[in-house]
């Protein structure tokens, strides 16, 4: 297991994903204390002189004009964590919470928040002990940060709220004080500004977007592989992917997808077997236009990747102490850039499933499948084959049309109309996570159907090297369906193999774009 060092500088997406998924741990860098000291000194001075500064010696949100006396400053910070722990819904899963612990520690170590090093250190201590705050999944409007989620993240630092161990089946956890005592972890007493600095920020949105960007990076490759298998299964042509026609509309994602399809289909005996046939002039759109659709998804993914890369090096606290010592209120906690990226990505990746389902349907429908058995059943009539797998894909595609409705076009005022425009970015990210899971399943259905179709086409010719490699990998876990059996189990099995399916194809033809 590798180690990610938290210094306050930008985190790499790959490092965040590795920590979130438990493939890396995280430690605080040696220079963090010196980096954080100047801003902490500014806060200490403001408290000492009883200067009016938002969130340090005043209330919060609509209460920003309410001065708080020195004797109540620590109590105010604790009360803030308690009052803002107002989330509802099912707890966030392990990978999201692990990512949150890392990202909030990274923001605080940036040196703009005016807090002690004990705060990021305690977050990383929980991470090191595999203790995860129980964070309800609903209740953020995506501005002032994801306040409720971050407050629930912060509760265990003061010995309150609930914790669970990573991997626990019961996501409700136990009282944080109990688990911390078992691990010998001491709770903190919050100093001025520290409660506020724990809950202002976009990190929950960041985690969900980062994990989605990483997963969709896999799915765009899977989509190209599935399309290539479907082209072979449907006796399609590779002419539409020729570089000569692709370069005259040179969108970057389209060029990458078309290049992948050329590599995946290179040397295919199946494609060669009917190259001069009458039907090979033009395929249906779901085959012919795959690079244009898959490529457009890739271009939106590239934009989302730029957004999250910037966000992973940004300071999203409020207020912040800038290097010259001035305490400044900021709107950097507003989630609009993330909200737009999440909404655009949900719309785009939904189309991977939409076009995939059409390819699956063509393989199952004897009117369009070019002599494949009806529904890819060995004995149609007695067996229904993959008929209902297409129903499942169609259902998920239709569900995605609802989930892809943008959340970021909405806003609702909060905090006595002080916070009168919000991003709804958290809703956008939660929907995106559901869309991605649906897309995975739809692509798994296509790979499953194409594998069955390639088994039937063996009587005609062999598939490409990539197609043969993927088919062999699928068949290690999922046998050909000669007689009807539980289809759900097969879909789930292929879904779990997507990383290995890409690896099998790349082992045959080299790295895909």
pLDDT of residue 66: 73
Tell me the average pLDDT of the chain. Answer: 95
In order of start, what are the domains of the chain with their CATH numbers?
2-200 (1.10.275.10), 208-509 (1.20.200.10)
Look at 71 and 146; give whichever has higher pLDDT. 146
Burial of 367 from C-beta contacts in 10 A (0-12 / 13-18 / 19+): exposed
Dump pLDDT digits (tens) for 482-504: 999 999 999 999 999 999 999 99
Dump pLDDT digits (tens) for 454-470: 999 999 999 999 999 99
- As a whole number, mean pLDDT of residues 369-393 equals 96
Residue identified by tokens 């004080």 is: 177
Q: How far apart are CA 61 and CA 67, in angstroms?
A: 13
pLDDT of residue 63: 66
pLDDT of residue 274: 86
169 phi/psi in degrees, rounded to 5:
-70, -35
Contact 202, 335 (CB under 8 A): yes
Give the pLDDT band (50/70/90) at residue 162: very high
Strand partners, 419: 414
Give the pLDDT band (50/70/90) at residue 277: confident
Dump pLDDT digits (tens) for 282-340: 899 999 999 999 999 999 999 999 999 999 999 999 999 999 999 898 999 999 999 99
Q: Is the pLDDT of residue 60 over 90?
A: no
Q: Which H or E run includes 175?
A: strand 174-175
- As a whole number, mean pLDDT of residues 46-72 equals 72
Q: Tell me which of 54, 112, 241, 391 is the catalytic residue.
A: 54
Q: How far apart are CA 358 and CA 284, in angstroms?
A: 10
Helices (H) and strands (E) in the chain, counts: 20, 9
209: its two tokens: 């977007």
Q: Is the pLDDT of residue 397 over 70?
A: yes
DSSP 58: B
pLDDT of residue 61: 63
pLDDT of residue 75: 87
Q: Is the pLDDT of residue 242 over 70?
A: yes
pLDDT of residue 55: 66
By three-state DSSP, how is residue 132 classified?
A: strand
Long-range contacts of 64-68 (CB under 8 A, 24+ apart): 64/418
Contact 460, 375 (CB under 8 A): no
- As a whole number, mean pLDDT of residues 393-416 equals 96
The most distant pair of C-alpha atoms in the chain lies apart, rounded to whole Å, by: 87
- As a whole number, mean pLDDT of residues 114-121 equals 97
- As a whole number, mean pLDDT of residues 114-130 equals 97
- As a whole number, mean pLDDT of residues 408-423 equals 91
Contacts of 106 (CB under 8 A, 6+ apart): 6, 8, 11, 120, 312
pLDDT of residue 280: 62
Which among 454, 464, 452, 434 is positioned nearest to 490, based on CA atoms? 452
pLDDT of residue 50: 77
pLDDT of residue 62: 61
Q: Is the pLDDT of residue 400 over 90?
A: yes
58 phi/psi in degrees, rounded to 5:
-130, 170
Dump pLDDT digits (tens) for 178-209: 999 999 999 999 999 999 999 999 999 999 99
Give the pLDDT band (50/70/90) at residue 76: confident
Contacts of 436 (CB under 8 A, 6+ apart): 212, 215, 216, 219, 349
Q: Which of 69-78, 232-241, 416-425 has the highest mean pLDDT?
A: 232-241
Q: Is the pLDDT of residue 58 over 80?
A: no
Model-level pTM? Answer: 0.95
pLDDT of residue 47: 83
Burial of 456 from C-beta contacts in 10 A (0-12 / 13-18 / 19+): middle
Annotated catalytic residue 285: no
Q: How far is CA 261 from the centre of its chain?
A: 25
pLDDT of residue 155: 98
pLDDT of residue 229: 98
pLDDT of residue 37: 97
Percent pLDDT > 70 in the chain is 97
Contacts of 319 (CB under 8 A, 6+ apart): 53, 54, 55, 56, 327, 328, 329, 330
């Amino acid at each position: 297991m590798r180690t990610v060092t938290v210094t306050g500088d930008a985190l790499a997406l790959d490092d965040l994903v590795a920590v979130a998924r438990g493939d890396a741990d995280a430690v605080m860098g040696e220079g963090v204390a010196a980096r954080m000291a100047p801003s902490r000194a500014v806060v200490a001075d403001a408290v000492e002189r009883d200067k009016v500064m938002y969130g340090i010696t005043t209330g919060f949100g609509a209460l920003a004009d309410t001065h708080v006396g020195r004797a109540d400053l620590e109590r105010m910070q604790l009360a803030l964590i308690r009052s803002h722990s107002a989330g509802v819904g099912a707890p966030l899963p392990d990978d999201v919470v692990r990512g949150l612990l890392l990202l909030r520690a990274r923001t605080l170590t940036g040196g703009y928040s005016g807090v002690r090093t004990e705060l990021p250190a305690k977050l990383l201590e929980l991470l090191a002990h595999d203790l995860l705050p129980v964070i309800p999944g609903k209740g953020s409007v995506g501005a002032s940060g994801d306040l409720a989620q971050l407050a629930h993240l912060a509760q265990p630092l003061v010995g309150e709220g609930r914790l669970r161990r990573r991997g626990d089946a019961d996501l409700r956890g136990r009282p944080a004080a109990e688990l911390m005592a078992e691990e010998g972890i001491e709770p903190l007493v919050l100093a001025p500004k520290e409660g506020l600095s724990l809950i202002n920020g976009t990190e929950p949105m960041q985690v969900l977007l980062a994990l989605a960007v990483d997963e969709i990076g896999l799915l765009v490759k899977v989509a190209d592989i599935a399309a290539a298998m479907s082209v072979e299964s449907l006796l399609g042509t590779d002419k539409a992917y020729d570089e000569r026609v692709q370069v005259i509309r040179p969108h970057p994602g389209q060029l990458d997808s078309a290049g992948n399809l050329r590599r995946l289909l290179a040397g295919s005996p199946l494609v060669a077997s009917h190259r001069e046939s009458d039907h090979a002039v033009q395929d249906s759109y779901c085959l012919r236009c795959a690079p244009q659709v898959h490529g457009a998804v890739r271009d939106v993914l590239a934009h989302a990747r730029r957004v999250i890369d910037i966000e992973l090096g940004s300071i999203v606290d409020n207020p912040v102490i800038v290097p010259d010592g001035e305490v400044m209120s900021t709107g950097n906690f507003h989630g609009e850039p993330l909200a737009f990226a999440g909404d655009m990505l949900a719309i785009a990746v939904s189309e991977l499933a939409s076009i995939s389902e059409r390819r699956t349907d063509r393989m199952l429908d004897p009117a369009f499948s070019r002599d494949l058995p009806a529904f890819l059943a060995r004995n149609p009539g007695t067996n229904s084959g993959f008929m209902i797998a297409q129903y499942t894909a169609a259902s998920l595609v239709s569900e995605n049309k609802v989930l892809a409705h943008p959340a970021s076009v909405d806003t609702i005022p909060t905090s006595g109309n002080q916070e009168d425009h919000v991003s709804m970015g958290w809703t956008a990210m939660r929907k995106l996570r559901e869309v991605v899971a649906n897309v995975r399943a739809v692509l798994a259905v296509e790979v499953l159907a194409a594998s069955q179709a390639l088994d039937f086409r063996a009587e005609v010719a062999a598939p490409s090297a990539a197609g043969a490699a993927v088919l062999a990998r699928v068949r290690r876990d999922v046998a050909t369906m000669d007689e009807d059996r539980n289809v759900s189990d097969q879909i789930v099995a292929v879904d779990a193999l997507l990383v290995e399916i890409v690896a099998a194809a790349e082992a045959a033809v080299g790295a895909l774009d």
